[in-house]
Amino acid sequence: MVRMRNRVSGRNSVSCITRYNLIMTTRMIIDFEAEQGYRSVLSAIDAYKSRLKASIARSRRQLADFEHRYGVDTDFFLDNLAAEDLEGGDLEYVEWAGEARLLTSLESELAELEKARLLKE
């Protein structure tokens, strides 16, 4: 959650709150002299979310290529196959498994950023 509030000094404040498994909350407060400051931060967050979405789409295409090539989905691959089962051997296994982990990480990061909000007080 991002919060902007006017303080006695007339400054704006932005606070980022991130939740992890509903156990831990992280709060970040950034003070700006002008309203444009918080808009720049929100614009940067939106640009980063767009890059994450593009990376997620690319990663999904990579996984779809592996799945098409071997005729199994990624979950089955991770649970049941070994490097010896793939034509490309170790390298192919590492690339597929790494891409699956990368996708999970990117989706998790995007989910956290999607929770960010601006609240004016």
Tell me the per-residue pLDDT of 72-90, one tens digit each, with 9 for 90 and over.
Answer: 999 999 999 999 998 989 9
Return the domain boundaries, the chain. Answer: 2-119
Distance (Å, whole) CA 38 – CA 31: 8
117 Cβ neighbours under 8 A, 6+ residues apart: 1, 2, 3
Is pTM beyond 0.85 here? Answer: no
Range name among 7-16, 17-26, 53-62, 66-75 with the lowest pLDDT average: 7-16
